[in-house]
Amino acid sequence: MYTLKEQVPLSRFTTFKIGGPARLLAEPGNLNALRALYRLAHEEGWPVLLIGKGSNMLVGDGGFPGLVILTRALSKAEIKERRIRVQCGVSIPELARMAMKAGLSGLERIGGIPGTIGGGLISNAGSFGQSLGELVEEVEVLVDGEREVLRGKEVYWGYRESSLKGSTVLRASLRLVPGDKIHIEREMALWNRERRRMQPLDRPSAGSVFRNPGGESAGRIIEEAGLKGLRVGDAMVSERHANFIVNMGRAKAKDVTHLISMVKKRVEIAFSITLEEEIVYAGIFEGDEDCIAVRGAIV
C-alpha cells in the first residue's frame, strides 16, 4: 500500500530545492493508504508533514524528524458536467488544462500556480484577482483522523488563508462554468505570460515570501527599501520581483531565514511596516535543535 523510506533529502521535493532529510517518507497511492499512514503515525507518536509540490514552504536544514507524506500520487480527477472532482495531489496547472480541454472556465487566472489542490486550498491560493476557494463546492477533509465533508460556503476563505488550516484536504469538487475552449486557452496563455513577465521562474523559489500588508504590495515595499539583489550565501532577493527570494545555487535554509530577517528589519526601519511570511516553515532550523517544537508539523 505504501513504502516507508528513511533519511530522504527534502530538497528533492521543494521548489526552493532546500531542506534536510525526512526521518521517514511515504508516497501513498490512494486515500486509504494516506489514512493508514496517519493511523500509524498516531500510534507511533510521529509528527506528520504533508508535502504537495512543496512550492510554498521552506524546510529547515535539520530536516523533518517524523513522517513526511507526499501527496503527489493522489492525483485522480474526473469531470462531470460543470463539476470537477479532484484528489488533493492534483496539480493546479494540470487541473486548469483539463478544465480548458473540457470547455470549462474559472481557472484561467490561477492555472499557473505551481502547487496542488491540497496546498492551494489550505492557503486559498490565488492570483490576478481570483482565488481557488471561490470555486469550491465541496471539500472532504480529515480532522483528528475523522472524515468530514464541508460545503464550500462553510469554509472561511481569506487572503492566503482558510479555516481548513490544521486539517488534511483529501479531495474537493469545484464548480466551473461552460465557456469557449479557444477563448479559455487564450486567457490562460495571457495570464501565464503575465506571470512569466513578473516572476523569476528561471530560479528555484517558493513564490512570494511575504503577505501583502494591508492591501499594499510587499514586493513594491521591499523594492522601495532598496533591497533587490540583497544576498546571504546563495539566497538572494530577486532582481525581477522583490517579494521572491531565489536560490542561486546551493542556498541553505539558514541563508534564507537570515535574509528574511534582514528584509523584515530594513522594511521596519524604513517604513514602520512589519512584514509577515506567506511561506510555511517546516522542520528543524538552525537554533531549533534544543527545542521540542517542530515547525509546521501537523501532529
Ligand X SMILES: Cc1cc2nc3c(=O)[nH]c(=O)nc-3n(C[C@H](O)[C@H](O)[C@H](O)COP(=O)(O)OP(=O)(O)OC[C@H]3O[C@@H](n4cnc5c(N)ncnc54)[C@H](O)[C@@H]3O)c2cc1C
Interaction of residue 50 with ligand X, rule CB under 6 A: yes
- Number of H helices and E strands in the chain, helices first, is 6, 20
Copy the grid coordinates of residue 175. 464548480
Spot the catalytic one: 83, 97, 160, 266. Answer: 160
**Alpha carbon distance 61, 53 (integer Å):** 18
Interaction of residue 245 with ligand X, rule CB under 6 A: no
Q: What angle do CA 24, 25, 27 make, to 5 degrees?
A: 155
Residue whose CB is less far from ligand X, 122 or 263? 122
User: Among 207, 235, 246, 294, which residue interacts with ligand X (rule: CB under 6 A)?
Assistant: 207
Residue 31 per-residue DSSP state: H
Residue whose CB is less far from ligand X, 77 or 270? 77
User: Among 19, 119, 133, 152, which residue interacts with ligand X (rule: CB under 6 A)?
Assistant: 119
- # chain residues binding ligand X, by CB under 6 A: 33
Residue 269 CB, shortest distance to ligand X, in Å, is 28
Residue 124 CB, shortest distance to ligand X, in Å, is 8
240 is catalytic: no
Interaction of residue 52 with ligand X, rule CB under 6 A: yes
Interaction of residue 115 with ligand X, rule CB under 6 A: yes
**Alpha carbon distance 165, 54 (integer Å):** 16
Interaction of residue 20 with ligand X, rule CB under 6 A: no
Cite the beta strand spans of 60-199 per DSSP E: 64-70, 77-80, 83-87, 104-105, 126-127, 130-131, 136-143, 146-151, 157-158, 161-162, 168-175, 177-178
Beta-carbon contacts of 269 under 8 Å, excluding residues fewer than 6 positions away, are none
Residue 298 CB, shortest distance to ligand X, in Å, is 7
Considering only 98-106, 114-122, 212-220, 257-265, which stretch makes contact with ligand X by CB under 6 A? 114-122
Interaction of residue 205 with ligand X, rule CB under 6 A: yes
11 is catalytic: no
Considering only 22-30, 48-56, 146-154, 226-234, which stretch makes contact with ligand X by CB under 6 A? 48-56
Interaction of residue 104 with ligand X, rule CB under 6 A: no
User: Among 37, 49, 104, 139, which residue interacts with ligand X (rule: CB under 6 A)?
Assistant: 49
Considering only 18-26, 179-187, 204-212, 269-277, which stretch makes contact with ligand X by CB under 6 A? 204-212
Beta strands 280-282; 168-175: pairing state = unpaired
**Alpha carbon distance 41, 56 (integer Å):** 24
Copy the grid coordinates of residue 31. 486515500
- Nearest residue to 150 (alpha-carbon basis) of 169, 132, 131: 169
User: Among 20, 27, 61, 123, which residue interacts with ligand X (rule: CB under 6 A)?
Assistant: 123
154 is catalytic: no
**Alpha carbon distance 146, 204 (integer Å):** 36
Q: Is 193 exposed, middle or buried (0-12, 13-18, 19+ CB in 10 A)?
A: exposed
Interface contacts to ligand X, rule CB under 6 A? 15, 49-57, 71, 88, 113-116, 118-120, 122-123, 125-127, 168-169, 199, 201, 205-207, 280, 296
The catalytic site residues sit at: 160, 208, 278
